[in-house]
Amino acid sequence: GPIPFPAALAMVLSCLLSGAHSQTPGAVQESPVPLGELGQEQPHGPVQVVSNASGAAGSRPSEPPLLPVCARPADIRHAFKYINTIVSCTIFVVGIIGNSTLLRIIYKNKCMRNGPNVLIASLALGDLLYILIALPINVYKLLAKDWPFGVQICKLVPFIQKASVGITVLSLCALSIDRYRAVASWSRIQGIGIPMWKAVEVLLIWAVAIVLAVPEAIAFDMVELSYWEQHLWVCMLASEQKSRFMRFYRDVKDWWLFGFYFCLPLVCTGIFYTLMSCEMLSKRNGMRIALNDHMKRRREVAKTVFCLVVIFALCWLPLHLSRILKKTIYDQTDPNRCELLSFLLVMDYFGINMASLNSCINPVALYFVSRKFKNCFQSCLCCWCQRPALSITPTDEKGSVGKWKATGQELGLDRSSSRLSNKYSSS
């Protein structure tokens, strides 16, 4: 017989509901991660997390309500992409040359092997690792849509990034403490060579930085996204974490990075440089440290360390400011959120460039601030144009002194060469 209207209506509704359930599986959920975390640029629309590459275990979470579609798309202009790529390539070249030269200077010259310089070498080595591995990946994530490098590289890149920043932060703190100890014990003459306790300190810095970077390797994963009817695999901080600690780390990550990786070196430098200034003012009259050449050299090193800390603060402030703004004022339920997201996305990549700039600018700062490093940089970078042999220019008719030309290894002349110089001078 004919089907009653209520029964037919119930059958139609059940078919529609079953069809909708088959098109939207329970594992698919709206991603709360903004476009800036995806490291790619597209018109902002519904982003759905389909699955993780590692396969998160546990019960299926409840689906959050769908977010409203943006009134306007969020995107990055292609001109910014090209400018970002050019800047990143410049940072890559300058960073490789500068940090490699700095490491060569400290390794080759015995007079440069001391406590502060071994910390500077540790800082340069961490920057070199960041430039070689993390910087090219950041450029690729801006230009490309998909992640083709696999889960291992996805976990390795953020691990190296955080380890490098941790080495920089802890090295700056150790340099500030070392400068205070050097001024406080003004009568202690520092010899050539690396003390054993300083080598242990560097190893401890690297160990702590590596341990603190382990959560990044655990938290990041390859995530399959359904984005404007496209299925993409991206490397990002996974929204689903297995352990309670990793869920806590995911929620407080931005504040933890701001507190430890940014505020700690500034607070440490402020405290110990204030103590160092008080120590120098209290001993100015009794010890006449202003006239002491040894203390002048130590104050020059202290000025160099302070310059490195200021450069670190200026380079990392935009990135941390972008992340804090995204954490505090970004509202996922606002239909006009994509206008703010476009600004935060550009600011985020600008901050990444500034943070990358910190990895290449330290050798440049040492060149302009420290006279000793400036002389070493000039001799190291220009050694290809110097002749290996020792040559003496003849005296002119007025009997002026002959000039010596030698390489950096031949500048340490012995007594016989000194007597030879006196002979030519007397003639």
| Stretches in the chain below the pLDDT threshold 50 | 3, 5-46, 56-65, 289-291, 384, 387-427
Among 69, 134, 41, smallest CA distance to 95 is for: 134
Quick one: three-class SS letters along the chain?
CCCCHHHHHHHHHHHHHHHHHHHCCCCCEECCCCHHHHCCCCCCCCEEEEEECCCCCCCCCCCCCCCCCCCCCCCCCHHHHHHHHHHHHHHHHHHHHHHHHHHHHHHHCHHHCCHHHHHHHHHHHHHHHHHHHHHHHHHHHHHCCCCCCHHHHHHHHHHHHHHHHHHHHHHHHHHHHHHHHHHHCCCCCCCCCCCHHHHHHHHHHHHHHHHHHHHHHHHEEEEEEEECCEEEEEEEECCCCCCHHHHHHHHHHHHHHHHHHHHHHHHHHHHHHHHHHHHHHHCHHHHCHHHCHHHHHHHHHHHHHHHHHHHHHHHHHHHHHHHHHHHHCCCCCCCCHHHHHHHHHHHHHHHHHHHHHHHHHHHHHHHHHCHHHHHHHHHHHCHHHCCCCCEECCCCCCCCCCCEECCHHHCCCCHHHHHHHHHHHHC
Rounded to an integer, what distance in angstroms lies between the CA atom of residue 169 and that of residue 174?
A: 9
> What pLDDT, in 10s, does the model give residues 150-171?
899 999 999 999 999 999 999 9
pLDDT per position as a tens digit, 169-199: 999 999 999 888 877 775 555 555 677 888 8
Give the per-residue pLDDT at 172: 93
Instruction: Quote the pTM value.
Output: 0.72
Residues in the chain: 427
Predicted local distance difference test score (pLDDT) of residue 114: 83
Domain 78-381, CATH? 1.20.1070.10
Domain residue extents for the chain:
78-381
